[in-house]
């Protein structure tokens, strides 16, 4: 669950998700996905372009951007967990061959708790 204490109109926690970050309500698009389109170095998109591409209200995109720019701890936690999974499965290894190491249920459980 998000540790962010703000009340949002469009952003919510995704039920049953291992991710703690917020998503666009009922569309389940991660706020950081929208923010990434806005903040990327090469060919950044305007909030209006993102809203049009995803058929979202402009206010929803602006809310997602503001949320991500506030640097909520759950974004860093989700990123760290993804990195840990990639490291544990070998996906971050330069010699990765497309076949991730299969993790035991105990390993996966431990990684989900990060």
Question: What local confidence, expressed as pLDDT, does residue 45 receive?
Answer: 98
pLDDT tens digits along 7-63: 899 999 999 888 999 999 999 999 999 999 999 999 999 999 999 999 999 999 999
Return d(Cα 70, Cα 90) in angstroms, integer.
Answer: 32
Q: What 3 state SS string does 3-40 have?
A: CCCCCCCCEEECCCCCCCCEEECCCCCEHHHHHHHHHC
Q: For the chain, give the mean pLDDT.
A: 91
- pLDDT at residue 3 above 50? no
- If one compares 35 and 95, the residue with the highest pLDDT of the two is 35
**Taking the domains of the chain in order of start, what are their residue ranges?**
11-70, 74-112
pLDDT confidence of residue 109: 83
Query: pLDDT > 70: what percent of the chain?
Result: 95
Q: How confident is the model at residue 4 (pLDDT cuts 50, 70, 90)?
A: low
- How far is the CA of 92 from the CAs of 84, 106, 113, in angstroms? 9, 21, 20
């Amino acid at each position: 669950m998000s540790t962010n204490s703000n009340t949002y109109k469009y952003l919510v926690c995704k039920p049953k998700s291992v991710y703690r970050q917020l998503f666009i309500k009922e569309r389940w698009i991660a706020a950081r996905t929208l923010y990434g389109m806005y903040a990327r170095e090469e060919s950044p998109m305007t909030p209006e372009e993102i809203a049009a591409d995803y058929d979202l209200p402009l206010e929803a995109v602006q809310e997602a951007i503001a949320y991500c720019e506030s640097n909520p701890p759950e974004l860093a936690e989700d990123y760290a967990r993804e990195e840990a999974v990639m490291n544990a499965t070998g996906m971050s290894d330069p010699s990765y061959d497309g076949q991730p190491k299969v993790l035991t249920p105990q390993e996966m459980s431990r990684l989900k708790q990060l």
